[in-house]
Amino acid sequence: MIESSNQRWAEISVVNNLKYEFKHLGKDKDIPVLVAEDFFKFPDLVREFIEGGIWWSNRTNDYDEIIRPGKSLYIHPEITDYFSMPIVRPLASLLGLSKLGIRSINGNCFTSDMGLKTIDSAFPHTDTMSVDFNRTAMVAYNVNLTDNPNVKTGFWSMYGKKSRLDFSWNNETDEQNFKREQNESASIDCEWFQIDDYGPYTLEDIHTMCYNSFAAYPAHFFHNPYMKTSWFTDIQRVTLAGFLDFSEKDLDFEDKNLDDISYAWEFLHLNRVLNFHPTNTKTI
């Protein structure tokens, strides 16, 4: 008999009472990463549930803009809100919002010898494009479901700029030319490789995710999995990844929480992206 997964997910996706940590990475301490440890109450059961899903090779998806390597567990848009809500609800409270815009969520499964749909998969990227905020996410997050000390996310600068928001038109053009040259020189069956400082990229810092931890950061910062080719040969690197949008229209909080909520907005650069600050009643 086919059984519904609704009740099972509701039972095991319980999130603990979280204590968020606001970390600033890099030598300039200007790369924000919001961290919470001991995230799920039943992380082993969540991992088991995720493993039992249907995983697809990312070489088979039809979207050119998706450069994610490895395998993906796709959560259908019809159930994205239901599936994501236990994970993101605490973040809504932290930001003083009555609701969040949940763009997507999926499972990621990486190995050190995985083939690449495109060589772009191995290069730092952003999930927000400066030309059109309406089509892209504001915040990206991950939950680590792999009990291994080498689950890491790297943060880079490109042409000396850590965020795409600081890119000029010339930077955008130079990036396109660089990636075109790299793709033209790559073999069609290339596998994962790890860069540190390479071409226009400079590795600024690395965030290590302990098992059952959560990390979120502004999607316009250059980032990518950091995974040496010897690290995940016998085991798989499995995480949940999601993308969120926000609106100042959904702000709903008590006045006594204004300072905390303002800090959280500034930390995730929401005041910059939305051109709005919680202390204001209209766009600045």
Summarize pLDDT for 15-69 with one digit per residue, the tens. 999 999 999 999 999 999 999 999 999 999 999 999 999 898 876 555 555 677 8
Strand (E) or helix (H) holding 208 = strand 201-208
* 279 assigned to some structural domain: no
CATH no. for residue 128?
A: 2.60.120.620
Higher pLDDT, 247 or 206: 206
Burial (CB count within 10 angstroms: exposed 0-12, middle 13-18, buried 19+), residue 4: exposed
Average pLDDT for 179-198: 88
* 66 assigned to some structural domain: yes
Check residue 252 and report its DSSP letter: -
Q: Residue 39: CB partners within 8 Å, gap ≥ 6? A: 15, 16, 18, 143, 212, 213, 214
Does the pTM surpass 0.85? The reply is yes
Higher pLDDT, 116 or 174: 174
Q: Which amino acid is at 278?
A: P
Q: Which is nearest to 155 in space by CA: 253, 265, 30? A: 30
* CA distances to 7, 8, 10, 212 from 4, in Å: 7, 8, 11, 25
Q: Which is nearest to 92 in space by CA: 253, 218, 217? A: 253
* 231 assigned to some structural domain: yes
Judged against a pLDDT cut of 70, whether residue 110 lies above it is answered with yes
Could you give phi then psi for residue 29, rounded to 5 degrees? 55, 45
* 95 assigned to some structural domain: yes
Could you give phi then psi for residue 31, rounded to 5 degrees? -110, 110
Judged against a pLDDT cut of 90, whether residue 84 lies above it is answered with yes
Per the structure, the count of domains in the chain is: 1
> How much is the pLDDT for 186?
77
Which domain does 104 fall in, by range?
6-274
* 281 assigned to some structural domain: no
> How much is the pLDDT for 284?
44
* 125 assigned to some structural domain: yes
* 65 assigned to some structural domain: yes
* 13 assigned to some structural domain: yes
Report residue 161 as tokens: 């700029």
Mean residue pLDDT of the chain comes to 90
- Block residue for tokens 């772009």: 120
